[in-house]
Chains A and B, each alone.
Chain A
Amino acid sequence: QVQVMESGGGVVQPGTSLRLSCVVSGFSFSNYGMHWVRQAPGKGLEWVAFISDDGSKKYYVDSVRGRFSISRDDSESTLYLEIASLRPDDMAMYYCARGGYTTSWYVIENWGQGALVTVSS
């Protein structure tokens, strides 16, 4: 079955950088676009970034463009999210999720359990 597992979260200081990883299994990773979605404590879902199946298209929410970078390693079935210059409002649970294949890229079909990023000095 489809499995999505994030790692790399933790307590980080403002202004530092962080890399989140997401290892998947149960499907052909190279055939799917992938998303990162975050959720601040007690708040709603916020889409963060998308990378297409071949890595040629990368989309970001305006509030993170220039600080966040999404990438993928198909040989390792792994998705990444690099976050630079962390701010207090970046504190959130970060979900890795698979985009649609027979549906459409924006359909978020399968979600991981999330990686919690806490920004604190």
Chain B
Amino acid sequence: SYEVSQPPSVSVSPGQTATITCSGAELGHRYVCWYQQKTGQSPVLLIYQDTRRPSGIPERFSGSSSGNTATLTISGTQVSDEADYYCQSWDPTSVLFGGGTRLTVL
């Protein structure tokens, strides 16, 4: 399999746009998912198939992909968006998570 990497931390001011990147050798050929995990809670699926949002996920969360890099964008970031964010990809017999990015909103 291959590795998927993310920056360990990102900071953003409330109301601004946060971007979290995810890179991996096969991401140009594989869809990426994004998950949000708030402190003490279970992860929640935010984005799947690079760009699609499950029902109930606010529109301020969006995903994109170009080449071997996927990006999660949070527009109009709220204090409540402070959390760990994980990208995830796959190969035919495994699921691969990035190491996670701690988003600080201050």
Give the docked Cα–Cα distance between A65 and B68 (Å).
29
Interface: B24 (CB within 8 A): no
Whether B96 pairs with A111 at a CB distance below 8 angstroms is no
Top-9 shortest CB links A-B: A106-B90, A47-B95, A44-B100, A111-B42, A59-B93, A45-B97, A107-B48, A44-B99, A106-B95
Residues of B within 8 A of A (CB): 31, 33, 35, 37, 42-45, 48-49, 54, 84, 86, 88-90, 93-100
Tell me which of A44, A109, A113 contacts B54 (CB under 8 A): A109
B99 contact set on A, CB distance < 8 A: 44
B31 contact set on A, CB distance < 8 A: 104
Whether B42 pairs with A35 at a CB distance below 8 angstroms is no
Whether A111 pairs with B94 at a CB distance below 8 angstroms is no
Residues of A within 8 A of B (CB): 35, 37, 44-47, 50, 59, 61, 95, 100, 103-104, 106-114
Tell me which of A45, A100, A103 contacts B35 (CB under 8 A): A45
> Measured between C-beta atoms, what is the minimum distance from B70 to chain A in Å?
14
Whether B49 pairs with A103 at a CB distance below 8 angstroms is yes
Give the docked Cα–Cα distance between A45 and B90 (Å).
14
Query: Who on chain A is nearest to B43 by CB?
Result: A111
Q: Assuming A45-B86, A107-B48, A109-B54, is B43 touching A35 (CB within 8 A)?
A: no
A-B contact pairs, 29 of them (CB 8 A): A35-B95, A44-B97, A44-B98, A44-B100, A45-B97, A47-B95, A47-B96, A59-B93, A59-B94, A61-B94, A95-B42, A95-B43, A100-B48, A103-B49, A104-B31, A104-B48, A104-B49, A104-B90, A106-B89, A107-B33, A107-B48, A107-B49, A108-B33, A108-B45, A108-B95, A109-B45, A109-B54, A113-B42, A114-B42
Whether A108 pairs with B35 at a CB distance below 8 angstroms is yes
B98 contact set on A, CB distance < 8 A: 44
